[in-house]
Structure 1
């Protein structure tokens, strides 16, 4: 982006600060108009013939461009967690699955935990059934990144969003 004296091509099409077309004029005359307005002459469309220049406050223009870029910042991937137990009811599992689906649609990873307490450790097969049920219902929106495995008193699996 060229500003003021950096603009070498003459003539240029000039637009004033309000957005009104001033017409095609030599670069020197366009610079005079910009100085009279106390602003800068900025080349906004260099590939056009003649190039399009706008009379604007260059510092303010750069600031607003920077603000726009910061708003378009990419989504930071987070790991969200859902916890269930081997005795968790069907409806409660559906609610957790619905929430996990929202996380995956927002491009976040989901850590599925099946927690075991006390004598529940004797029924790991029940916990595995719950885990399989959750993973099966989410396979359309997420892919399995880490297979279910036991880590102490919990069984964990990680789902990543499908690309």
Structure 2
């Protein structure tokens, strides 16, 4: 992201502080206006001519750049392991942990270890968790029963 004196174009297409279109002006005039209003001149794209630039409050440009970088990063998948005989308090702890992860923007993979005929019990446990976490996450795929485990992945909304 180019800011202020780093913009080398002779003319820029300028947008004001409140989003109003100020037209095509020389870069020197845009910099003078930015200094007069005590804001930064930020180039939003280098792919067009004249490059579009915005007048943004000081410090706000850095925050926008950080948010853009954060959105570019792929979400991580955090795994939470359970057993079908989990106690109520432990289940509540795991549910709140998953809720915190989902609100943070990462996905959660619930894995329930199965031994013997615990398949239906594990499936009902995962369905309960999906129902309780429906406000902060949605399932990516259905519940997958395979061999010694049942799993489901929830993605953040």
- TM-score interval w.r.t. the shorter chain? 0.5 to 0.7
TM superposition shift of 1:42: 0.5
Matched, 1:131 2:133: no
Q: What TM-score, normalized by structure 2, do the two folds share?
A: 0.58
Name the SS of the counterpart of 1:78 in structure 2.
strand
Report the counterpart of residue 22 of structure 2 in structure 1.
Answer: 22
TM superposition shift of 1:108: 1.0
TM superposition shift of 1:80: 3.7
Name the SS of the counterpart of 1:13 in structure 2.
strand
Measure, in 1, the Cα distance between the counterparts of 2:119 and 2:151: 12
Report the counterpart of residue 109 of structure 2 in structure 1.
Answer: 108
Matched, 1:81 2:82: yes
Deviation by residue 1:87-115 (Cα, 9 ceiling, x = unmatched):
xxxxxxxxxxxxxxxxxxx641312345x
* TM-aligned CA distance change 1:57 to 1:82, over 3 Å: same
TM superposition shift of 1:58: 4.3
List gaps (5 residues or longer) in structure 1.
85-105, 115-127, 149-156
Report the counterpart of residue 39 of structure 2 in structure 1.
Answer: 39
Number of residue pairs the alignment of both structures matches: 120
Measure, in 1, the Cα distance between the counterparts of 2:68 and 2:6: 25
TM superposition shift of 1:30: 0.6
Name the SS of the counterpart of 2:14 in structure 1.
strand
Query: Which structure has the bigger radius of gyration?
Result: 1
Contact 2:14 2:52 in 1 (8 A): yes
Measure, in 1, the Cα distance between the counterparts of 2:123 and 2:4: 62
Q: Over the residues paired in the alignment, what is the CA RMSD in angstroms?
A: 3.6
TM superposition shift of 1:63: 1.8
Name the SS of the counterpart of 1:45 in structure 2.
coil
Q: What TM-score, normalized by structure 1, do the two folds share?
A: 0.56
Contact 2:119 2:150 in 1 (8 A): no
TM superposition shift of 1:57: 2.0
Report the counterpart of residue 5 of structure 2 in structure 1.
Answer: 5
Contact 1:81 1:113 in 2 (8 A): no
Report the counterpart of residue 51 of structure 1 in structure 2.
Answer: 51
